[in-house]
Structure 1
Amino acid sequence: MEKEPPYPITSVDHALHLALLLQQEGPLRVSDAARRLEVSVSTAHRLLAMLVYRGFAQQRPDRLYEAGDVLRPAAATAAPVALLRRVALPHMEALAQHVRESVNLIALAETEARFVATAESAQVLRVGSRAGRALPAHLTSGGKVLLAALPPEDVTALYEADGEVDLPRLRRELGLVRRRGFAINDQRTEAGLTAVAVGVQDGGGRCVAAVALAMPSVRFHREALPEWVRALHITAADIARELG
């Protein structure tokens, strides 16, 4: 994962985040954009106007903003992203408060693990929001959970032409995930970050998302793993009930 630049430009970051939201979640009102970015309505309106000017967004007759021609259509996930976020976020916030670590909701889009929402820990040393980002699915805890739920032939089809992925090793990892019922990412995407994830099923029994605890690696302890996994499974079941 790329590190945050030492001198971030907030307005650029907001505009890029907004473009990702339009691409991945669909049409937004100005007030929706303001709430998601935690900016004023007037700031959100200016950002959207600039995205429209450059072709990254367009305004519909009903005054909602949607992705423009410049943004290629995002690969579909197994469940509507906006629905997943709305249903899951209250449960994620409760889990973050209980375990005092950040919680991410992740959806799979082909070989990408897309971070749909984050409930941040209140601790000073914490993993910040990953909402709107995408990482290689085979490296993330949530991505591995979702890949493990696919038929083996689907995983082969996704990665057999990818020279950078060791497919036999990935198959072994996914087999371990299926047996355990959870996956771990121990600093494979970012130094100093460890994550644990379990799957979230819809009413039809499909694994449509993953919920993950993300923490500084210095706070990851193997003896606490069973309790974290138990808490994740409870949260995943609560989300699944609402999705069903």
Structure 2
Amino acid sequence: MTDSAASIATHPMSSTSRRSPVTPPEQTMPARPRARAPVERPAYMVESVHNALVLLNAIRDQGAVRVSEAAREIGVADSTAHRLLSTLAYHGYVAQDADRRYRAGPLVGVGPATSELNRRLRDLSFPEMCALSKVTEETVNVVVRTDKLARVIASVESPRLLRAGNRVGHAPPARSAAGGKVLLAELDDSALRKLFRDEDRTDGLLKEMTAIRALGHASAIDEVESGLSSVAVCLRTVERVAVGALVVALPTGRYRGFIDAGGIARIHETARRIETSIEVLGLWHTER
């Protein structure tokens, strides 16, 4: 007799020895997944937003649309469709090709800037951005680079009537935006050639990056948007690794006056205070 069998035998009142009948478990049906509630049309839907989204869906499904096709799609006049498409193009969601058709723009498919470090950079920069905007009366942004795009993750608008608007989420080509340029200049020529390997001419870009490294700041005049200019410097960790750029954006007509009044020095001073906060909080001691 095994030890286990002996143990059972010496306890006659055990449940095993009584062999009480076993009641089979109830036969239960597996729970059905809860059906998703149907989406209801909003009682006060904003028609222009609805039409813009319908156009984005049409471009997604059809590849490209002309203004007249867009107008038929949403049942409006050509002029209204043109205004909607122009607004979407301004924000980077569509782009007009050589045949004057509208296709998906550079922001379509760009993932969200969900990095915790980006959020913390935005939060610790904000008080200094407000102070810089107050003293210069211009719009101040913080930009990070995502591949070949320069993404605005924070913005404080100028109080002036004529100003650069809040462009949070906007992601223009890095090589045409001041914040993108100053961050691209952190790469060496080999890395730049690799990043822009699908573009025919990079010699001009390499020369511009060399000049930016020597100056310590970058400018963009009427490159991202006609009538809009910007100046940017890097935001660095204590190890001198660039994690973003501090940008002042302003109407081109005020650009020269801003520079002559010592605007670049003010941006550098603000950047140093933000960098002190980065150091005090111990951010970016490891690779991003």
Q: Which band: TM-score by shorter chain?
A: 0.5 to 0.7
Which amino acid in structure 2 is aligned with residue 188 of structure 1? E
- The residue number in structure 1 matching 2:248 is 213
Matched, 1:83 2:83: no
Equivalence for 2:181: 144
Residue pair 1:103, 1:214 contacting (<8 A) in 2 also: yes
Q: Which amino acid in 1 is paired with 2:121?
A: L
Alignment counterpart, residue 182 of structure 1, candidates 217, 221, 235? 217
**Cα 1:223/1:217, change in 2 over 3 Å:** closer
Q: Distance in 2 between matches of 1:137 and 1:103?
A: 17
CA-based RMSD of the aligned residues comes to 2.7
1:80 Cα deviation after fit? 1.8
Instruction: From 108, 112, 131, give the equivalent of 2:168.
Output: 131
Equivalent position to 1:101, from 114, 135, 138: 138
User: Displacement, 1:132?
Assistant: 1.0
| Higher gyration radius (CA) | 2
CA positional deviation for 1:224: 3.0
Structure 1 position 130, deviation (Å): 0.8
- Match in the other structure for 1:237: 272
Whichever residue aligns with residue 173 of structure 1, its letter is E
Q: Deviations over 1:97-149 (max 9, x none)?
A: 00010001000111010001111111111111011110100000010000001
Give the direction of change, closer, same or farther, for the CA distance of 1:71–1:161 in structure 2 (3 Å limit): closer
Once the two structures are overlaid, the 10-residue window that deviates more, 79-88 or 191-200, is: 79-88
Aligned to 2:49: 9
Corresponding position of 2:154: 117
CA distance 1:122–1:222, change in 2 (3 Å): closer
User: Secondary structure at the residue paired with 2:135?
Assistant: helix
Higher relative contact order (CA 8 A, sep 6+): 1
Which one-letter code corresponds to 2:49 in the other structure? I
Q: Show the counterpart of 2:206.
A: 171
Given that residues 102 and 215 in structure 1 are in contact (C-alpha distance below 8 angstroms), is that contact kept between their aligned partners in structure 2? yes
2:259 & 2:110 partners in 1: Cα distance?
42
Matches within 5 A, 1:145-160: 145-160=182-197
1:9 maps to a residue whose letter is V
SS of residue paired to 1:116: strand
Q: How far is the alpha carbon of 1:235 from its aligned partner?
A: 0.8
In structure 2, the partner of 1:45 is none
Structure 1 residue 185, shift from structure 2 partner: 0.4
SS of the residue 1:138 aligns to: helix
The 3-state SS of whatever aligns with 2:208 is helix
Q: How many angstroms does 1:197 deviate by?
A: 0.7
Amino acid corresponding to residue 211 of structure 1 in structure 2: L
Secondary structure (helix, strand or coil) at the match of 2:220 reads strand
Asked whether the 8 Å contact 1:105–1:212 carries over to 2, the reply is: yes
Instruction: Give the 3-state SS of the residue equivalent to 2:176 in structure 1.
Output: coil
Return 217-226 or 130-139, whichever deviates more: 217-226
Distance 1:93 1:75, change over 3 A: closer
Tell me which of 170, 190, 199 is aligned to 1:162. Answer: 199
Contact 1:118 1:129 in 2 (8 A): yes
Aligned residues: 180
Give the unaligned 5+ runs of structure 1: 1-6, 17-69
For residues 226 and 170 of structure 1, the distance between their equivalents in structure 2, rounded to whole angstroms, comes to: 29
- Is residue 260 of structure 2 the alignment partner of residue 198 of structure 1? no
Gaps of 5+ in 2: 1-46, 57-107, 280-288
